[in-house]
Structure 1
Amino acid sequence: MVGSISVDLTVTASPLPRPGETVVGDRFTTVLGGKGANQAVAAARAGAATTMVGAVGRDPFAGLALDALRHDGVDVSWVSEVEGATGVAHIRVDSRTGENDIVFVPEANGALAPARVEEALRAAAPTSPVVLLQLETPLEVVLATARTCADLGLRLALDPAPASALPEEVWAGVWLACPNETEAEVITGTRVSDVRSAERAARWFLDRGVHQVVLTRGGRGTVVVGPSGTTDIPAFGVTPIDTTAAGDAFAGALGAAVAAGLAWPVALRRAAAAGALATTKHGASPSIPTAAEVDSYLKGR
């Protein structure tokens, strides 16, 4: 796992305030966050041996983040401690709909060194067939990760969030791209409104060397495009209370399933279940389900 580590400061209220307005909220939490850390927790809870490559600052939030990762069995020996503050995210959740908005401040994540990432990947290569990556670290880190994974033959799964244009050379090192519909539109220029447009957006990634594309569409399911064609996977029916980290739960569970050698349809089903279950609990990392919870949910379905 190469990615961001932050502490999430989350408030829930309904309605959320408009500019210049003050409202009274329902709850406030301070927990581990960051897309990289969330996906590391998701992979670990899914049963995968997981190593985190990232950076934290020298402040009280660093201890909170590292202790939370260790609690889930994530190896943090490749997490660098740098001067300054640990990354933070301010998350607002509408307690009626479960929808959220997020302001992410990278802080220490911006100091993650590409050379450190390359060293970690080379050390982990013999036992880590799948690498997960997001875009909450510097572009130089993304480039180094893609290049090193290509050199070592590692399967790189990229969750391109927050969405931004990337150099063409990145895509040659990506085995799996896992955007949501908004991210796919930002990157490819194709507005995703149905399965056909999702397939067109996915082809953009395939044309640039990506092997598989898994395009998530929230409550409308997932469109998978790869060598065997296009598959439209319906979403599991749940009542969401907080959508924070649902995509991270999906990506981490999918990476763990692929690393375990599960059949592709089984891996996708487990990932979809993990993402759905994450919306039924509050918080980012606290909402991510375990393998046993996914098993129980899927039993009989």
Structure 2
Amino acid sequence: MSQTESSASSSGGVLIVGSITADLTTFSQRLPARGETILGDEFTLVLGGKGANQAVAAGLAGGTAHMVACVGTDLFSGLVTDGLRAAGVNIDHVRMVDGPTGIAHIRVDDSGENDIVMVPLANTSLSEAQIDRAFAERGASSKVLLTQLEIPWALTQYAIRRGHDAGLTVVLDPAPAAKLDEAIWPLVDIVTPNETEASILTGIVVHDRDSAVRAGRWFTDRGARYALITMAAAGAVLVSAGDVVAFDSIPVTAVDTTAAGDAFAGYLGASLALGHELPEAISRAIAAGALAVTKRGASPSLPGRADVDALLDAQKALA
């Protein structure tokens, strides 16, 4: 780590307000049709949830990750909290509540595509008071807020307002996508939808770079500082009020796409907190997302910083 990065990481953490789940994932050659039973090939039970995955990715990227969330009192509680601790994520603001931990049921086919049913459960118990305590203790030492939509929207809004008021760079991963109160966009520095999420939020069908730019303009017209539309193999576009920058994807063979977006968000947030300029942070996020799809599972697929650096160096050598 450079002296600049060391100084940034010591004073600039990443605050993640979001979900924690136990991910129950099945792997099969294809997904069953409605009403059909098929035989699968493998099953995993691991730490997941968009918030937790992004926290783990931020930590692996070299950031100082602080998780704000809730878990239950069931047999999955130890699995998820141990997984966060093992990844170096601070869980002082992860609260245990009566009842079951959040669950995600994930199905993955041989092409690496997936579908997911996420049941929030304990995640619905997150509170404004809990978020306030986290900001009181960690806000001054944090530079970036990461949040998503697997917790109640009112609390995502509250976290965004707290992050904005505290001067943090607010990054919203709007997944799972839903129509949102447009008053929130001026408080968001970077919104990071994929093409499906951008289509749902804006009403503009995103199918190529031009339509992604139009969708990005929808966000910036409503006050977001940047819209970063990700399009898997088609790369990404960064849209601001006065500029558009395109980023190429890194070709890989996909095995499981479950945590690609979380790897992207976590590396983006940590890279910004470490002092990287936005274009470089996006390049690192793209590399992290590319590596994540080459392994099975959500949190187990999240790459370490050395692997991301090696992939970026290999891409530079090819240029």
Q: Structure 2 length as normaliser, TM-score?
A: 0.92
Report the Cα offset of residue 229 of structure 1.
Answer: 0.9
Residue in 1 that maps onto 2:129: 115
Report the Cα offset of residue 228 of structure 1.
Answer: 5.4
Report the Cα offset of residue 16 of structure 1.
Answer: 1.4
Please give the alpha-carbon distance, in whole angstroms, between the structure 2 residues aligned to 1:176 and 1:121: 20
**Moved beyond 3 Å, runs of 4+:** none
**In 2, are the aligned partners of 1:118 and 1:144 still within 8 Å (CA)?**
no
**In 2, are the aligned partners of 1:142 and 1:170 still within 8 Å (CA)?**
no
Residue in 2 that maps onto 1:63: 78
> Which range is displaced more, 250-259 or 149-158?
149-158
**In 1, are the aligned partners of 2:217 and 2:241 still within 8 Å (CA)?**
no
One-letter amino acid matched to 1:26: D
What does 1:37-52 align with in structure 2 at a 5 Å threshold?
A: 37-52=52-67
SS in 2 for 1:172: helix
Residue in 1 that maps onto 2:301: 287
One-letter amino acid matched to 2:263: A
Please give the alpha-carbon distance, in whole angstroms, between the structure 2 residues aligned to 1:253 and 1:196: 26
Q: Choose the corresponding residue for 1:78, options 93, 100, 103.
A: 93
Residue in 2 that maps onto 1:193: 207
Please give the alpha-carbon distance, in whole angstroms, between the structure 2 residues aligned to 1:74 and 1:228: 37
Residue in 1 that maps onto 2:260: 246
What does 1:70-219 align with in structure 2 at a 5 Å threshold?
A: 70-94=85-109, 96-219=110-233
SS in 2 for 1:300: helix
SS in 2 for 1:171: helix
Please give the alpha-carbon distance, in whole angstroms, between the structure 1 residues aligned to 2:179 and 2:314: 42
SS in 2 for 1:31: strand
> Which range is displaced more, 60-69 or 138-147?
138-147
Please give the alpha-carbon distance, in whole angstroms, between the structure 2 residues aligned to 1:93 and 1:241: 9
> Which range is displaced more, 120-129 or 64-73?
120-129
Residue in 2 that maps onto 1:26: 41
Residue in 1 that maps onto 2:7: none
One-letter amino acid matched to 2:74: D
Q: Structure 1 length as normaliser, TM-score?
A: 0.98
**In 1, are the aligned partners of 2:178 and 2:201 still within 8 Å (CA)?**
yes
SS in 2 for 1:119: helix
Residue in 1 that maps onto 2:282: 268
Give unpaired runs (5+ residues) of structure 2: 1-15
